[in-house]
Each structure stands twice: as structure tokens, then as C-alpha cells.
Amino acid sequence: MRYLQEHAPQVRALQGKPQISIDSAALQGLITGSAAGQSLSIERLDNQSDGGLQVSLQPTDFARLLRWLISLVEQGVRVEEARLKRAEKGLVSTRLLLRNS
């Protein structure tokens, strides 16, 4: 919770920035590459018929997940849906629906 409070100004600033659009074909490569760069392990990746990408992650550190999501938004990805479930202490299991902006 403290991490969220400390980084709330950064998230608010991102909300006011103009959206960057990325090619939907590049979305999957961006997601997998950036997840690997943040040491996040993808359990499942499903393309949606409407262009979205359903992503399930192995349990990960909550702060690391937030850093990754912020970096995705900065690169033109929209987090349309996020389901977080508490796993072990300090870790969360995550399911996301991501789209290009």
C-alpha cells in the first residue's frame, strides 16, 4: 500500500499524457520482451478476437508488477482489466487484459 501511495503522483501524471498507439501485431512482442526485462514470468498468453491480449503471470512481487505496468502504459499499452490475487507474502498472482492504446 505504501508503494501505491508513494507512486500515485507518477500514475496521475501518466493519465494526462497523450496516448501512444502501437501496432497490434507488435503488442505480444512488447509484452513478452518487457516482462522478461523485468524478470516476470508469463504463465499464459492468449490473443483475443478483438485485438486484446490476456496475460497471466506467475506470482510476482507487487512493486515489480507495478513498475512493469507503468512502463507498458508509457509505451502505449492500455490495461483494460487487472485481477490480482494475493499469493505468498508480498507476491500476487495476476491476470491482465491488455490492448494497444
For residue 21, is pLDDT > 60?
Answer: no
pTM: 0.76
Domain covering 2-100: architecture: 2-Layer Sandwich (3.30)
pLDDT in tens, 53-99: 999 999 999 999 999 999 999 998 999 999 999 998 889 999 999 99
- Using CA atoms of 82, 58, 33, 39 in order, give the dihedral in degrees to the nearest 10: 120
Q: Which residues contact 7 (CB under 8 A, 6 or more apart)?
A: 66, 70
Residue predicted with more confidence, 34 or 49: 34
Q: What are phi and psi of 23, to 5 degrees?
A: -65, 135
The least confident of 25-34, 38-47, 61-70 is: 25-34
Domain range annotation of the chain:
2-100
